[in-house]
Amino acid sequence: MANRRRFLKTIPAVPALGSLSAASAKSAPKRDFFKELGVRPFINAAGTYTTLSASLMLPEVVEALQYASKQFVRLTDLHDAVGKRIAEMTGAEAAMVTSGAAGALVVGTAACVAGKDPDKIQRIPDTTGMKNEVIIQRVHRYGYDHAVRAVGVKMIEVETTAELEHAVSDRTAMMLFFNDADPRGQIKAEEFVQLGKKHKVPTFNDAAADVPPVENFSKYLKMGFDLVTFSGGKGIRGPQSAGLLLGRKDLIEAARLNTSPYSDTIGRGLKVNKEELLGMMVAVEVFTKKDQAAEQREFDRRVKYIADALRSIPTLKSEVKVPPIANHVPHLHLRWDQSRITVAEVVKKLRAGDPAIEVTPSSKEELIINPWMAQPGEAEIVARRLRDVLSGKS
């Protein structure tokens, strides 16, 4: 850590996007908990991966959490008020804070299956006699649809429009769309929504990692999706364990009844506390008001700085790519002759160094760097360490 502090003193000033305020720096904890526990922090040059603890909460969010932690309120009242405020900011008819996007998938599906019926709400995941089928395109199947299946539904896979229309029946509760898979599916988002409306089936879009840009908050709702979820702990930089469920008022009301604080519900364990409720609201406030263009310029600057620092490395080729939907920020893709050092060896050296650096999960052929979540000055550290490792200096 001493090396990192010395290096930070030598780098030029950079825009303090996402940096901690002076007030929060002064109130830094006296104990080094991670050191006590033997857990190594790292520079995040990977992105908002849950397993890497996603993003860092904004100082304003931390302040909101601390405020809420010192007082009691009726949780349902706070849910109502926060949901109303978030709906106003995002252009949604209604909104609620959930236990992450996965929690939103559970309670949103439960809303489509059980609605507000107390008997059905209690019986889930026993969906006997209920609408209990969810239509999804085959290429949209993904690890998180387990959260949908937890409600007790059967996934009906389709590929074409004709297959989808044939699959719709009086048992169809919902149509699920994984936003990042849109380019891979035959039925695109707009048509998917139209088919849902044609057959009077609610459509649910999982857009968990799809902000920025901020316009996406309202884009998919305007397109006609009945429910849309976003992760709270990724680009929005709210509490990692929180998320947003936006959409139709009747479905949001039903989703609320299918989760905590109400007992005997499928979502009783998906509890959202008052701190997360307030923190998520503040995160959305800050996110919707920030200078998106300035932030994008900073992301571009970081990637260019790293690429420029590596230009002298023999055989190295770099390319900047921006994913079209999820994690829509610049990623630096690096390739070189690996006869001397492989991608896996570079990843290992970066992780073992001081400070430790994590990169985007990479293939054997290329190294991917995404300094989106790096703090001010850390992109420069990543550039130096990469140059040293690739040139054989460390």
User: Do 93 and 164 have their domain in common?
Assistant: yes
CATH number assigned to the domain comprising residue 182: 3.40.640.10
Domain finish residue from 289, 306, 339 = 289
Ramachandran angles phi, psi of 33, nearest 5°: -60, -45
Residue 180 lies in a domain: yes
User: Do 188 and 246 have their domain in common?
Assistant: yes
Mean pLDDT along residues 187-211: 98
User: Do 37 and 89 have their domain in common?
Assistant: no
Residue 213 lies in a domain: yes
CA angle 123, 126, 130 (to 5 degrees): 85
Rounded Cα distance, 154 and 248, in Å: 23
**Does the pLDDT value for residue 20 go beyond 60?**
no
Q: Which domain holds residue 375?
A: 2-56+291-390
User: Do 270 and 307 have their domain in common?
Assistant: no
Q: Residue 146: CB partners within 8 Å, gap ≥ 6?
A: none
Domain finish residue from 255, 289, 323 = 289
Structure tokens at 370: 């995404």
How far is Cα of residue 100 from the mean position of the Cα atoms in its chain? 8
**Does the pLDDT value for residue 171 go beyond 70?**
yes
**100-148 pLDDT, tens digit each:** 999 999 999 999 999 999 999 999 999 999 999 999 999 999 999 999 9
Residue 62 lies in a domain: no
Mean pLDDT of the chain: 93
**pTM (2 d.p.):** 0.90
User: Do 128 and 190 have their domain in common?
Assistant: yes
Helices vs. strands in the chain: H and E counts, helices first: 16, 12
- Domains contained in the chain, number: 2
Domain finish residue from 289, 309, 335 = 289
Cβ atoms of 274 and 64 closer than 8 Å = no
CATH number assigned to the domain comprising residue 296: 3.90.1150.180
Q: Residue 314 class from Cβ within 10 Å (0-12 exposed, 13-18 middle, 19+ buried)?
A: exposed
User: Do 303 and 282 have their domain in common?
Assistant: no
Confidence of residue 27 (pLDDT cuts 50, 70, 90): low
Q: Helix or strand or coil: residue 321?
A: strand
**282-306 pLDDT, tens digit each:** 999 999 999 999 999 999 999 999 9
User: Do 86 and 178 have their domain in common?
Assistant: yes
